[in-house]
Amino acid sequence: MLRIGMLTSGGDCQALNATMRGVFKSVMLNAKEPVEFYGFEDGYKGLIYGHFRLLDYNDFVGILTRGGTILGTSRVPFKTIRVPDENGLDKVAAMKQTYYKLQLNCLVVLGGNGSTKTANLLSEEGLNVVTLPKTIDNDLWGTDMTFGFQSAVDIVTRAIDEIHTTANSHGRVFIIEIMGHKTGWLTLNAGLAGGADIILIPEIPYDIKKIVHIIESKDTNGGRFMILAVAEGAISKADAKLTKKEYQKKLGSYIFPSVSYELADQIEKKTGREVRVTVPGHTQRGGTPCAYDRVFSSRLGAEAGRLILKGEYGYMVGYHNREIVKVPLKDVAGKLKTVDPDSAIIREAKMLGVSFGD
């Protein structure tokens, strides 16, 4: 008997169900022995507190196109994973106990950076673990692409497309605030696809004077409106010079909901232009996965199934040079894939007239 546990952890995204389906189908169709799949509810919480259910074929019917996760998810921060809960429970010991109680041969984790760090910890504790790269931020080390990313890019691009008409009608400056606290992959790709004039990402601190100059120059040249794609983690050059403590103190006394509203206020005061902020918010995580993610997630799931059937554990299934690959968990955990300011895509965007505020 082959017993496999599976959980989805952290923020949700559009292709979690499609990926789980890929794992389930590839194992069930190719195993030489009976198989049982256990789904842990609400991420690592289910593994910690023993909340699970036996999964069968009916659970995976019709979910290729369904967003979210049939197992539910939650955030259990890695920095608190070694901290006992309010009742003094050792979370790591509890997860191991659940794993051994169910006599699992393997634990499959679908998650992003924090989830992968916890998965690597469990691997180091002796559990058989395979992970799959989930995040709309596309910031997991060791993979060129994460599932959920392309679906999110499509959603944000549509939002920018729809802003163009109202921006043109009213002659306004529009700021679209896009998810991404630490990295700008989503903002960069959606901004390019949507034809944004200015793209602001965490990796390239911006100068408000430069942004104002660009807006005023477009006015002079007859430009009626302007679109700024701004990552929620975008930071000014002035703020980038602050120490972490100083910056946290500034955020603690922030009078604006986010950096986008601060930018809007500065632009209005310096240019006299009317500025509006649009925040797509959690729509970026929602809805049905795009065709690309359905194919990509199915491929990832199939490769995870192959690793399980071969007994190869301690890996993340990733994507490199258009091929599905396995990457040692220890090489992935704790690392962040950021946008290189000197990369080809940044250079090419600048050739097209896009400004990054630098």
pLDDT tens-digit map of 152-181: 999 999 999 999 999 988 889 999 999 999
In this prediction, residue 254 carries a pLDDT of 80
Query: pLDDT tens for residues 113-138?
Result: 999 999 999 999 999 999 999 999 99
Strand order of the β-sheet with 129-133 is: 52-55, 35-40, 2-8, 106-111, 129-133, 315-320, 323-328
- Structural contact between residues 180 and 113, judged by C-beta atoms closer than 8 angstroms: no
Average pLDDT over residues 55-70: 97
In this prediction, residue 187 carries a pLDDT of 98
Give the per-residue SS3 of 91-154. Answer: HHHHHHHHHHHCCCCEEEEEECHHHHHHHHHHHHCCCCEEEEEECCCCCECCCCCCECHHHHHH
* Arithmetic mean of pLDDT over the chain: 95
In this prediction, residue 248 carries a pLDDT of 81
| Whole-number Å distance between alpha carbons of 140 and 257 | 28
Sign (positive or negative) of CA dihedral 291, 297, 299, 301: negative
| Whole-number Å distance between alpha carbons of 262 and 1 | 58
Give the confidence band of 219 by pLDDT, cuts at 50, 70, 90: low
In this prediction, residue 220 carries a pLDDT of 60
**Which position among 59, 137, 197, 293 bears the catalytic label?**
137
Whether the pLDDT of residue 91 is over 90: the answer is yes
Q: How many beta carbons lie within 10 A of that of residue 18, not counting itself? A: 27
The answer to whether 137 is a known catalytic residue is yes
348 vs 257, residue with greater confidence: 348
Q: How many beta carbons lie within 10 A of that of residue 127, not counting itself? A: 19
In this prediction, residue 222 carries a pLDDT of 65
Give the confidence band of 335 by pLDDT, cuts at 50, 70, 90: very high
Percentage of the chain surpassing pLDDT 70?
99
Whether the pLDDT of residue 106 is over 70: the answer is yes
- Structural contact between residues 2 and 38, judged by C-beta atoms closer than 8 angstroms: no
Whether the pLDDT of residue 253 is over 90: the answer is no
Give the DSSP H or E segment for 30.
helix 16-30
The DSSP call for residue 75 is -
DSSP letter string, 214-275: HHHHHHHTT---EEEEEETT--BHHHHTS-HHHHHHHHHT--SSSHHHHHHHHHHHHH---E
Give the confidence band of 221 by pLDDT, cuts at 50, 70, 90: low
Facing residues of 214 across strands? none
Whether the pLDDT of residue 102 is over 90: the answer is yes
Whether the pLDDT of residue 216 is over 70: the answer is yes
Q: How many Cα atoms occupy the beta-carbon half-sphere of 120 within 13 Å?
A: 17
Domains within the chain, CATH numbers bracketed: 2-148+289-332 (3.40.50.450), 151-285 (3.40.50.460)
In this prediction, residue 318 carries a pLDDT of 98
Structural tokens at position 310: 């071969």
| Whole-number Å distance between alpha carbons of 116 and 46 | 16
Q: How many beta carbons lie within 10 A of that of residue 148, not counting itself? A: 32
In this prediction, residue 288 carries a pLDDT of 97
Residue type, 263: L
Query: pLDDT tens for residues 274-307?
Result: 999 999 999 999 999 999 999 999 999 999 999 9
Average pLDDT over residues 37-60: 98
| Whole-number Å distance between alpha carbons of 184 and 139 | 9
| Whole-number Å distance between alpha carbons of 333 and 240 | 26
Query: pLDDT tens for residues 193-205?
Result: 999 999 999 999 9
Structural tokens at position 126: 């002796």
Helices marked H in 171-195 — which ranges? 185-193
Whether the pLDDT of residue 235 is over 90: the answer is yes
Facing residues of 317 across strands? 326
Average pLDDT over residues 127-152: 98
